Structure 1
């Protein structure tokens, strides 16, 4: 365990060193700055490269920050921008529906819950802040993805696959396309026990300054309470909050 922690610490140190120089850094320079052997430095950088956090320029032999590092950084920036203005709206949404209200953003192959107003019901749905759900098993994930081009959705499936979390999860391209079409038509997404049996969720996308999706808001509750009538009523409130947060996000 200690060796794993040490390797993680060294890898993060290297990532910080790479990120500090926009011109990129050579392997020998990074090894010297980190106080590591060149062989150890190369092994750690190769692992980071495989995960997309760094990349090397074959022409200059310099290491640069990779796409994945930018994705993670952008996710934090989005979350920070939305968190403060979102919380009072999440509380109002919770009070209006009597169910748990959530704010989520995409991070890699998952939706991450970054803020929440927990239902006051004794039996309630909770995916604590920091909880991760596969994009296409999540109402918030599907609400965001429904704004993408079909080619982008196909690329997502090619990259991450369609591993079911429950018997209700989407497991074919045709099922995904049908669900996405329905979301686009009605303006909100439903997670119908697709990640946890017995839980149902309704979600809508939050848009940024250029109309791009930056996150989603949802209400989640026990399927026994989230009847079709309650889903429809909750959806109206969720879409209103999503529109309001889109306006706040634009001003941020």
Structure 2
């Protein structure tokens, strides 16, 4: 017999090893816990697919034998975590996964999960850090952390403020499609909180264009005399899901200090966007908020 037939030809590469789901199992998984890790991996693949997967799909994607997959999927089906969709067989996620996801979302306290990020900003800047989202014509402060100093801007989570005259509000408005901004504004002239408040749609539109171009918003004594605020967007996949700001005494927001504040805000905004709990809580909250304010007779 030709020995060459029994050996791999020189210069050829060995066949690539098929990916195996066990490669990603937790380091702490022992022999018994490995079955749990495998089962969870199957659920993750179904979630990523967004539809049904066949037994062949699972086998190709996990590297597990079909006999093993049948046993794992059988247990998951019996417990309601997957449902057999057809006779190929194919499987989809079951109702128990909705129970888990709902419990996860309702259990998230946005002020708590985002609080650590804002606390670092407040400590580094000496100013009050605020995280906000648009709710109709108002900004809803969903998380606030104040610095440890006697003179500071004071507000609380759950506080609402006008969108047209605040740093958070103008940052969020600037990231909307310009054609949709009017739905988030009161009738003209807008309520003037100070002599610096922008009270017309044209003046605000010019400010929002400048805000969008430079990537941050400025409230320069527009909401309260003696108070300034700078805000940046919190972006996930190109979508502005919230705005992050610092607010404090006007005299402490000169050019150099403001630039330092913005550097810290942008870093914190990136950290917030990378925090899966924060993003999930924001998306859950945003699903319940108003898309602008409905017209009333007084608005007409």
Normalised by the length of structure 2, the TM-score is 0.53
Q: Which of 185, 198, 202 is equivalent to 2:226?
A: 198
Asked whether the equivalents of residues 103 and 114 of structure 1 are also in contact (C-alpha less than 8 Å), the reply is yes
The corresponding residue for 1:225 is 252
The corresponding residue for 1:37 is none
How does 1:3-42 map onto structure 2 within 5 Å?
none
Alpha-carbon distance in 2 for matches of 1:126, 1:230: 20
Q: Which of 138, 163, 166 is equivalent to 1:138?
A: 166
Q: Which of 125, 136, 149 is equivalent to 1:121?
A: 149
How many aligned residue pairs are there? 175
How does 1:86-97 map onto structure 2 within 5 Å?
86-97=114-125
Asked whether the equivalents of residues 146 and 180 of structure 1 are also in contact (C-alpha less than 8 Å), the reply is yes
Question: What's the offset of the Cα at 1:119?
Answer: 1.6
- Corresponding position: 1:211 with 2:213: no
Which has the greater radius of gyration? 2
Q: What runs of 5+ residues in structure 1 fail to find an aligned partner?
A: 1-76
Question: What's the offset of the Cα at 1:154?
Answer: 3.0
- Corresponding position: 1:245 with 2:275: no
Normalised by the length of structure 1, the TM-score is 0.63
- Corresponding position: 1:149 with 2:177: yes
RMSD: 2.4
DSSP-derived class of the 2:203 partner: helix
Asked whether the equivalents of residues 93 and 241 of structure 1 are also in contact (C-alpha less than 8 Å), the reply is yes
The corresponding residue for 1:110 is 138
Question: What's the offset of the Cα at 1:81?
Answer: 6.7
The corresponding residue for 2:27 is none
Q: Which of 177, 188, 192 is equivalent to 1:164?
A: 192
DSSP-derived class of the 1:214 partner: strand
Alpha-carbon distance in 2 for matches of 1:234, 1:123: 18
- Corresponding position: 1:83 with 2:111: yes
Deviation per CA, 1:107-158, whole angstroms, max 9, x where unpaired?
2211121211112221111122222110111111111111111111133336
Deviation per CA, 1:22-73, whole angstroms, max 9, x where unpaired?
xxxxxxxxxxxxxxxxxxxxxxxxxxxxxxxxxxxxxxxxxxxxxxxxxxxx
Q: What runs of 5+ residues in structure 2 fail to find an aligned partner?
A: 1-104, 281-300
**Larger helix proportion, structure 1 or 2?**
1
